[in-house]
Structure 1
Amino acid sequence: MAAPDNTKTNQRDRMSSEPTADQQKENKSDRELARQIRRAIVQDKSLSTYAHNVKIIAQGGMVTLKGPVKSDQEKQTIESKAAEVAGSPDKIKSELQVSDKSSNQ
């Protein structure tokens, strides 16, 4: 089994004007929101390693989710968990992508 390679995704994220995890480091409430979402995702053992490692960026109470997941179901589960923790689906921007590569996980 090949190791996950997110190089292209990481390069795209660095070049984009989209929010990054570095931008939330000064806001304690945003860090806490991201931490709570991460905990909810990681505690769900039905999710893949890819899902457990999605990027969660909280900024001003809004949450951006980025990264590959293995299925549409997994994408919906993560979005739902994030919305539940954040208090509303309107606070979630999903950039999760169903990846063919992640089907091996």
Structure 2
Amino acid sequence: MSTRLLLVMFTLTGGLIMMTGPVRAEQDAAIYMAASSELENTERNVRDKDNTTLTPEDQKETKKDIKITAHIRKAVVKDKSLSIDAQNAKIITRSGVVTLRGPVASEAESKMLQKIATKTHGVVKVDNQLEIKAP
């Protein structure tokens, strides 16, 4: 059954349509593969939704905080010894307090990001919440 037909049926009936057959089997297989994937991060996403952890949306919009974040990001991306994960770590600055979040390849990378942030002019404190990825 095509996606378009399913959408039309859903719209007309105003409810869910039970799917069976090959389409359902493909979806079940995809869900199973996603759940066992290294990329599966549902728990992390749930944690981030409860407003107890900072996300990039919490970045302050002051010129000083934006400048700090931009300076750290530039230094991190420039360091080619860092993994892609480390280069993509979340950097959130609020009133000079920098929070680092996300996965990194090693303890050494975590320390390197913290060092870069600490050395940045205007940083009051660094909250290192980086997570070491399992090998």
Q: State TM-score, norm by structure 1.
A: 0.80
Q: Which residue does 2:48 correspond to in 1?
A: 13
Q: Secondary structure at the match of 2:120?
A: helix
Question: Under a length normalisation based on structure 2, what TM-score does the superposition of the two structures give?
Answer: 0.64
> Relative contact order: is structure 1 or structure 2 higher (C-alpha 8 Å, sep ≥ 6)?
1
Shift of the alpha carbon at 1:16? 3.3
Specify which of 71, 76, 86 is matched with residue 51 of structure 1.
Answer: 86
Where 2:108 maps in the other structure, the secondary structure is: helix
Larger radius of gyration: 2
Preserved contact between residue 60 and residue 93 of structure 2 (Cα < 8 Å): no
The match for 1:41 is 76
**RMSD of aligned alpha carbons:** 2.1
Unaligned runs of 5+ in 2: 1-36
Give runs of ≥4 in structure 1 deviating > 3 Å: 2-8
Which residue of structure 2 aligns with residue 24 of structure 1?
Answer: 59
2: distance between equivalents of 1:56 and 1:43? 15
Larger deviation: 13-22 or 52-61?
A: 13-22
Count of residue pairs brought into register by the alignment: 99
